Structures are given as structure tokens and as C-alpha cells.
Amino acid sequence: MDSIKEIEERIDAFNKARDWDQFHSPANLAKSIAIEAGELLECFQWDEKNYNLQDVSEELADVMNYCFQMAMVLGVDPKEIIMSKIEKTEKKYPVEKAKGKADKYNKL
């Protein structure tokens, strides 16, 4: 069994046991991703060097959990969409132009 499938099955079982799927529309999940991403950012609000790794890990897990749920609701494969996006981004940021630079692709 691949690990992404295990994650999806665990999330699905958790939500079904609580009858929470009814609340997981794409819009609600997108809002939840943004909210949890804000909570992740809050971990670095006043000191980006001295953060609590446990707190950061938990907030990152929340973001990822909602991302997996959104992929499930939309019927898309997380691995497939990530790999596709990486391929697209590789074309926008070729190594010979982007290496060591933080410029946007249209400024390379």
C-alpha cells in the first residue's frame, strides 16, 4: 500500500466516524487551508529563528490534512497533481536561468 493511500484512508475513516464529510465542500476546505496556513505562519510571527518545532509540525500537518481532503473531494490524485505542477514549474524556472536566484520566472 502506498503511503498517500494510507493517509487518505485514515482521513476518510476519521471524517466518516464523525459524519464530517457534509462540511467538506471545496470552498470550506480552501478556507480551512488558508486559516491553518495562517496559524502556521503565526508560529514565526515574532521570531523566525527560534520557533517551536512541535507547534510548527502540528500546524503543517493541519494544512496538509486539509489539502489531502480537498484532493479527495475534487477526485484528484495528490501525487499526480504535484508531479504535474513540478514539471510545469521546471519549464518556467530552467536551472541555467534560475539557479541561486529568487526572481520570478518573467524576471529571469
Span 50-61, mean pLDDT? 98
Q: How many CB atoms lie within 10 A of CB 44?
A: 12
Q: Tell me which of 16 and 105 has the higher pLDDT.
A: 16
pTM of the complete model? 0.90
In Å, how far are 61, 64, 86, 87 from 7, measured between CA atoms?
11, 10, 21, 24
Determine the pLDDT at residue 85. Answer: 98
Span 89-104, mean pLDDT? 94
CB half-sphere exposure, 99, CA atoms < 13 A: 2
Euclidean distance between CA atoms 46 and 42, whole angstroms = 8
